[in-house]
């Protein structure tokens, strides 16, 4: 299972590098989703299936919806639809698709493995994760939630129309 971990790490690194270097926000979001899914595969190979599920549900799901919501709030009108069409040709989907296919193959191999998903030690159950997150790292969790709240407030402020509804 060690090669799967390293391939997932390489996919996460490449997808993250692409996400921060793209000029188009949609391309960056696609690459960021692939990066978050690669991190979930790494958690799965390390024996933390619950943490992998949380990564997919919270980060690749909820936070990406928040980012899409911000993009919708900042929509400038009909002229941006044509601009997005020009910025998102079919070839822009190739890299995220290939990286996601690699991750899918890895997940199938990990879940179908003889010795299970864990590389080292035993699997981490939800109670252990909750104890760590809301015990030792409670302030970090609260700071992350405040950062997300600030992002939502900032998006609402940027998306507000002057003199309108």
Q: Where are the domains of the chain?
A: 2-159
Query: pLDDT-derived band of residue 116, with 50, 70 and 90 as boundaries?
Result: very low
Which has the closest alpha carbon to 21: 7, 5, 8, 35? Answer: 35
List the alpha helices (DSSP H) in the chain: 2-21, 25-45, 49-54, 64-73, 78-87, 94-111, 126-133, 138-159
- In whole angstroms, give the CA distance from residue 65 to residue 72: 10
> Regarding predicted confidence, which is higher, 15 or 90?
15
Residue 156 pLDDT grade (very low, low, confident, very high; cuts 50, 70, 90): confident
Closest CA to 31 of 80, 86, 85, 98: 98
Question: pTM for this structure?
Answer: 0.56
Tell me the per-residue pLDDT of 3-38, one tens digit each, with 9 for 90 and over: 888 889 999 999 999 888 877 777 788 888 889 899
> Is the pLDDT at 82 greater than 80, yes or no?
no
Q: What is the pLDDT of residue 140?
A: 81
Residue 14, pLDDT score: 92
- Joined together, the tokens standing for residue 153 give 């407030």
**78: pLDDT strictly greater than 50:** yes
Please provide the CATH number assigned to the domain covering 2-159.
1.20.120.1200
Coil, strand or helix at 115: coil
């Amino acid at each position: 299972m060690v090669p799967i971990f390293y391939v997932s790490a390489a996919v996460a690194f490449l997808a993250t590098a692409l996400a921060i270097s793209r000029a188009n926000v949609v391309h960056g979001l696609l690459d960021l989703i692939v990066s978050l899914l690669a991190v979930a595969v790494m958690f799965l190979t390390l024996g933390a299936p619950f943490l992998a599920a949380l990564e997919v549900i919270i980060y690749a799901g909820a936070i990406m919806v928040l980012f899409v919501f911000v993009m919708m709030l900042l929509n400038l009108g009909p002229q941006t639809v044509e601009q997005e069409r020009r910025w998102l040709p079919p070839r822009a989907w190739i890299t995220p698709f290939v990286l996601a296919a690699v991750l899918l193959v890895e997940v199938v191999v990990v879940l179908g493995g003889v010795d299970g998903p864990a590389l080292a030690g035993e699997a981490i159950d939800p109670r252990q994760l909750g104890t760590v997150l809301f015990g030792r790292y409670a302030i970090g969790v609260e700071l992350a939630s405040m950062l997300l709240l600030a992002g939502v407030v900032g998006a609402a402020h940027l998306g507000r129309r002057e003199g309108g509804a």
